[in-house]
Amino acid sequence: MPRVVVDVMPKPEILDPQGKAVLGALPRLGFGGVTDVRQGKRFELEVEGEVTEAVLAQVREMAETLLSNPVIENFDVRVEETA
């Protein structure tokens, strides 16, 4: 079954309070060496048939329209092989 993955991340210039909270929690748990954390979303889309360029174009449209808000987020679309 082909799977298309859409990663949505807050834009670098946008403050990410959730990532900041995670970053703050790590040292308290004894994890050192992490200088920054950004928190985003991952969508896994199971699609019918082959993942053609047309399918990917449609997924990009979905990402722009619904999955992400282009004002505050960037997205990345890729195909993942599943067993």
Q: Does 26 participate in binding other proteins (rule CB under 8 A)? A: no
Q: Is 3 helix (H, G, I), strand (E, B) or coil?
A: strand
Nearer to other proteins, 2 or 39 (CB): 39
Among the listed residues 52, 61, 64, 69, the single contact to other proteins using CB under 8 A: 69
Asked whether the beta carbons of 4 and 81 are under 8 A apart, the reply is: no
CB of 71 to other proteins, least distance (A): 4
DSSP state of 71: T
Please, which residues have CB within 8 angstroms of residue 10's CB and are 6 or more apart in sequence?
A: 16, 19, 38, 39, 40, 72, 73, 74
Interface with other proteins: number of residues (CB under 8 A) = 13
CB of 62 to other proteins, least distance (A): 12
DSSP state of 12: T
Q: Which residues bind other proteins (CB under 8 A)?
A: 10, 13-15, 17-18, 20-21, 66-67, 69, 71-72
